[in-house]
Amino acid sequence: MSRLRLGLPVPPRSLASWGIALGLALTIGGCAINPAQEGQRLLAPVAPAQLSEARALDAKGDAAGAAKYYLELAEKAKPPTREQLRIEAARSLLAAGQAKQAGQVLDETSQADLTQGQRQVVLLLGAEVALQLGHAQQAIDRLDQVRATSLPADLRIQRLGTLAAAYRLKGQPVEAARTLNELDGLLTDPGQRLANQVSLLHALGALGPADLQRLAASGSGDLRGWAELALLFGSAGAADSALDQRYTAWRRDHGSHPALPDLSRAYFGALGGAYATGDQVAVLLPSSGALAVGAYGTAIGAIREGILAAQRADSGAKRPQVRFVDASNAGQSRTLVDAAANSGAKYVIGPLQKSAVDTLVGGRGLPVPTLALNRATRSDRPPANLFQYALSPEDEGASVAHAAWAAGHRSALVLHPSAPWADRLVEAFRTQWAAFGGRVAKQATYGATASAAGAAVQGLLGGGEAKAGNAFVFLVATKESARAIWPRIREAGGPPTYATSLVYPGSFDPSADQVLAGLYFVDIPWMLANDDGPLSRRALSRTLPNLGGSDQRLYAMGMDAYRVAPRVADLARRPGSFYPGHTGGLRVDSAGRVHRQLVLGQFTATGVALAATPAAAK
């Protein structure tokens, strides 16, 4: 039985084993049947030696080769064996990270020749394809069509895990948690239940304190208790004896709640490192030449300090050896990765320069999982073991779309400066907004002067679009520009307004920033968390005197790079799964790119805080 897709990655082979189960688990007439018997019946016309050859390719990791072979066999087969072989090919393509190709195979499979059971399989695989491609609503729609009661128990479990991942990806943490709570009732293995419950609490952690408190006060059933635990663990910062006592008392007062005894320790253990005793990590960062000085050098130093802070937080037995390697010469990145692996490194973090990542993208597969700290400019399909993680502004544009849609908005008014960097943000927003089905009612640019900004606001809010109950403004602005523009939107009676982290450099000036009160913005969780854990911004500011300014998010990037490096390959095998990082809910797509799902903050008269659900959702 495979484990869960939402939250923390779980032992590999779940996707492959699920694919085999999907290929076998067919339902007829709404009644679950024996998956093995049905699969044998459908594949009986295929020569055993040919099936063995295809499965051998899968077993040795050549999923793409297996898919090609299955499709060749399908060309010579008759329905429904032909359709079964195409399903097997789609499964292999998914395992190879080729979601688009898997979707094409499924789309070209004859619907008329599918058995009732195969239709369920195609829906489940189609949902997996949609999830890998980042189309959460499409995955949900397909899963809603599945006759869940007719599925065997293991596929009902897998369906709920995939559904929860889709809700999380769509920015609906409460629905994700509700689905995982339903899943908890189907699981029997204590280890799987514990992993599921950790995932559930991390899903709820995407809510702000006000929404969590509301759910804890008025939620129904088990979900109310889960919200209480999310508040309890979120305020603790770390697992210790005091938390153990509070959690034990909570369980005593909530005897019928399904929360397991070891949940508090598992919750915080999941946030720690995932290294084994004796692991070595090589970190490729520039440390000489022009790149190591000035602003770029300061940024590199922040990433380095973040990595070291996360390493210090791990226990001695599971604390890996971290070795920093000078990677100033971008053209040598492949040589450096090979040398690190030959010297015993099990994981590589870096390189940092885009040109260095381009060098890796253009080469052969890498010997060990390598988490580059930037994204390539090349469009080539990355080689095996290369993953790309960056604090991409485009992620912020997409996260605004997630937050606004989850809040109930459906019509967007976009206001941004005339600049290439702003155009990229807006394009990322529009792409995600369109995927949700949202509408861009108006889009306008503003100039540098106050009068030009005022005219842009007036033009944007003129007409009936701004008065629609589901409208909002997406404002792309720096903090200085927002100070001039947001008060004009508010005074004009404009709808809720969302910005990116550009409006919050990490400090609040009581005399100048009160004008920003009410403005929403997306940011990394680390910047808005109010805990005092060992890796919190509050705690690190006491030991890192240089923590602050525009580079402080790079400390969080360093911490996440250290924590994600041993997990990234597993995350990539399950693109719907999330790691609850300091820089956001992290997921890895089928091309090895790490995406961040940010949290929603809001300015108040006295500072910034995690935001409650905006009015459009209430």
Domain architecture of the chain: domains with CATH: 14-170 (1.25.40.10), 173-270 (1.25.40), 280-389+548-566 (3.40.50.2300), 393-523+600-617 (3.40.50.2300)
Do 485 and 511 meet the contact criterion of CB atoms below 8 Å apart?
Answer: no
Interatomic CA distance for residues 475 and 415, integer angstroms: 5
* Average pLDDT over every residue of 531-554: 82
Q: Give the helix ranges, DSSP H, for 96-189.
A: 99-107, 116-132, 136-145, 153-170, 173-184
Lowest mean per-residue pLDDT among 28-42, 122-136, 536-550? 28-42
pLDDT of residue 315: 80
pLDDT of residue 616: 55
Residue 349 reports pLDDT greater than 90: yes
**CA-CA-CA-CA torsion sign (141, 142, 143, 144):** positive
The one-letter amino acid at 565: A
What mean pLDDT is reported for the chain? 87
Interatomic CA distance for residues 505 and 79, integer angstroms: 61
Residue 14 reports pLDDT greater than 60: no
Q: Degrees (nearest 5) of the Cα angle 567, 244, 529?
A: 55
pLDDT, tens digit (0-9, with 9 covering 90-100), for 56-102? 887 776 878 889 999 999 999 999 999 999 999 998 888 777 888 99
Measure Cα distances from 110 to 80, 105, 455, 531 in Å: 9, 10, 56, 54
Q: What is the 3-state composition of the chain as percent helix, strand, coil, each rounded to the nearest 5?
A: 55, 10, 35
The one-letter amino acid at 8: L
Measured from the Cβ of residue 528, the count of other Cβ atoms closer than 10 Å reads 22
Name the more confident of 39 and 346.
Answer: 346
Query: Assign residue 463 a region: left if phi > 0, alpha if psi is -120 to 50, beta otherwise?
Result: left
pLDDT of residue 339: 98
Max CA pair span of the chain: 78
pLDDT of residue 143: 96
Radius of gyration of the chain (CA): 25
Interatomic CA distance for residues 20 and 72, integer angstroms: 19
Residue 214 confidence class, pLDDT cut points 50, 70, 90: very high
Strand partners, 387: 371
Do 553 and 501 meet the contact criterion of CB atoms below 8 Å apart?
Answer: yes
Measure Cα distances from 479 to 26, 70, 412 in Å: 56, 56, 21
pLDDT of residue 13: 34
If you average pLDDT over each of 230-239, 286-295, 355-364, 519-528, which comes out highest?
A: 519-528
pLDDT of residue 31: 53
Residue 10 reports pLDDT greater than 60: no
* Average pLDDT over every residue of 570-596: 86
Residue 542 confidence class, pLDDT cut points 50, 70, 90: confident
pLDDT of residue 462: 86
3-state per-residue secondary structure call for 573-612: HCCCCCEEECCEEEEECCCCEEEEECEEEEECCCCEEECC
> Which of these, 4, 81, 85, lies nearest to 42 by C-alpha position?
81
Residue 152 confidence class, pLDDT cut points 50, 70, 90: confident
If residue 473 lies in a helix (H) or strand (E), which one and from where to where? Answer: strand 471-475
> Which of these, 60, 72, 126, 132, lies nearest to 97 by C-alpha position?
132
pLDDT, tens digit (0-9, with 9 covering 90-100), for 475-507? 999 999 999 999 999 999 999 999 999 999 988
Residue 614 confidence class, pLDDT cut points 50, 70, 90: low
pLDDT of residue 32: 55
Pairing of strands 31-32, 27-28: antiparallel
Lowest mean per-residue pLDDT among 37-46, 242-251, 302-311? 37-46
DSSP track, 175-243: HHHHHHHHHHTT---HHHHHHHHHHHHHHHTTS-HHHHHHHHHH--HHHHHHHHHHHHHHHH-S--HHH
pLDDT of residue 514: 94
Interatomic CA distance for residues 5 and 184, integer angstroms: 13
Lowest mean per-residue pLDDT among 139-143, 145-149, 466-470? 466-470
Do 277 and 317 meet the contact criterion of CB atoms below 8 Å apart?
Answer: yes
pLDDT of residue 28: 34
- Could you tell me the two tokens for 73? 């066999």
- Contacts (Cβ under 8 Å, ≥6 apart) of 236: 242, 243, 246, 264, 268, 531, 533
> In the chain, what percentage of residues exceed pLDDT 90?
58
Residue 153 confidence class, pLDDT cut points 50, 70, 90: confident
Interatomic CA distance for residues 329 and 269, integer angstroms: 37
Residue 594 reports pLDDT greater than 80: yes
pLDDT of residue 575: 63
